[in-house]
Amino acid sequence: MEIELWWLSALPIFFGLGWLAARIDLKHLLRESRALPGSYFRGLNFLLNEQPDKAIEAFLEAARVDAETIELHFALGNLFRRRGEHDRAIRIHRNLVEREGLSCAERLHALAELGEDYLKAGIFDRAEDIFLQLRGSERDGEARQALLEIYQAEKEWPKAIAILSAPSSALDHHEQRLLAQFHCELAANALLHGRYEEARRDLEQALAANRKCVRAAVLLGDLALAAGLPDEAIEAWTRIERMDVDSLALVAERLLTAFRQSGRGEQGRQLLVGYLERHPALDLLDAAFQIEQEVRGIEAAYALVRDELRRNPTLLGLEKLLEAQCLLATPDQRSDLELVRNLIHQHTRRVARFRCCQCGFRARQHHWRCPACGGWETYPPRRSEEFDLAP
């Protein structure tokens, strides 16, 4: 009971101390706010009213009144960078970097902002120098991502690989896929110049980084076919079914070529028709139609296309059906059928595109990296209008 009475007697003292601390903090806050120039508050008001031009002028005036306001200079630099005035942003952040009396954290912050200015301005060499200086600091993660962006923009794939392959790097799934794509870029270039062993090594490393890298399997088949080994190419491309069934459409024409070269037309027909039945796609339909016509004749090819059109009605499939009908028709019928087919073809060739699911950019051919937004593996392997064009 004595303890409880003691606490009750002490409560007014605690309340008094709390009131006094609040008064001291309030006085300190008011003193700081009076020290800030009025142009600072005008700038904030302009920002809140979405008037960035007037806000910048007000902040510039505030910075002239109080040159020691570090955060104000950071805010100004970021505003200039967002507006595309990179030279002004660079000037502000460079002055901060060179200023004496900054703490270590403030100097690193200024250096990171300056690197970002150079990056957005497209001055990659200076941006790279700055972000390399920031490696190993508390800004290491930020520097690592910026360097990856620079090396991808400049297609410096060995440097990009070195960033991701550092011993301290624990890669997430996205970065594993990136690493595989970087190795595929090197392999594609080596394959283009006939350096087959070099290409194979990079493709093995790509699959080690991401065992479901479809592009690596595609390139392995290309490598085998270029070396005159169609059976090995077929084996590489058929593995794609276990990686991503939709991506089989990307190698349909390649498989057709390889089976022709190996002289195994009937096996190729069975494989492609089986793929078409299990995983219907327009590019598979085109390859299956061609090999069906070569092995079993035009009537069998026509029946194949007709049955597929009934299962998956699309205008692109209808165009293929009309092509088959033209081959079966009499000369008098053929002219009318070709007229209809040409009309459909003029429409379908404009819409039979691949479309980036990140930015919507459309292209006639499939890209592993979007030419517009730079995203990796953002193009689905099917043509975007396959099912949108159903009559």
According to DSSP, residue 166 is labeled -
Q: Distances from the Cα of 382 to the Cαs of 93, 193, 250, in angstroms?
A: 47, 29, 8
Question: Which of 111-115, 228-232, 239-243, 384-388 shows the lowest per-residue confidence on average (mean pLDDT)?
Answer: 384-388
Report the distance separating Cα 348 and Cα 325, nearest Å: 18
The label of the residue with tokens 């195994």 reads 264
- Whole-prediction pTM value? 0.78
Which pLDDT score, from 0 to 100, does residue 189 have? 96
At residue 380, the 3 state secondary structure works out as coil
DSSP code of residue 387: T
Could you tell me the two tokens for 360?
């919507």
Q: Convert 135-155 to b/e letters by CB count within 10 Å (16 or more is b).
A: eeeebeebbbebbbbbbbeee
The pLDDT of residue 250 is: 94
Q: What letter represents residue 289's amino acid?
A: F
Q: Give CA–CA dist 241/220, Å, rounded.
A: 15
Asked if 136 contacts 108 with a C-beta cutoff of 8 angstroms, the reply is: no
Q: Residue 158: its pLDDT value, please?
A: 97
**How confident is the model over 56-65, as pLDDT tens digits?**
555 555 444 3
- Buried b / exposed e across 55-84, counting CB within 10 Å, b at 16+? bbebbbebbeeeeebbebbbbbbbbbbeee
How many other β-carbons are positioned within 10 Å of the β-carbon of residue 222? 21
Give mean pLDDT, residues 194-217.
96
Tokens 């890669």 -> residue: 171
Mean pLDDT of 27-56: 49
Domain boundaries, the chain: 22-164
User: Is residue 67 within 8 Å of 101, Cβ to Cβ?
Assistant: no
Angle between helices 214-226 and 173-192 (to 10 degrees): 20
**In this model, does residue 216 exceed pLDDT 80?**
yes
Contact of 292 with 320, CB cutoff 8 Å: no
Q: Are 160 and 186 in contact (CB under 8 A)?
A: no
Q: Does domain 22-164 bear CATH number 3.40.50.2000?
A: no
Averaged pLDDT, 272-276? 94
- Max avg pLDDT among 79-88, 219-228, 358-367: 219-228
Distance separating the N- and C-terminal Cα atoms of the chain? 88
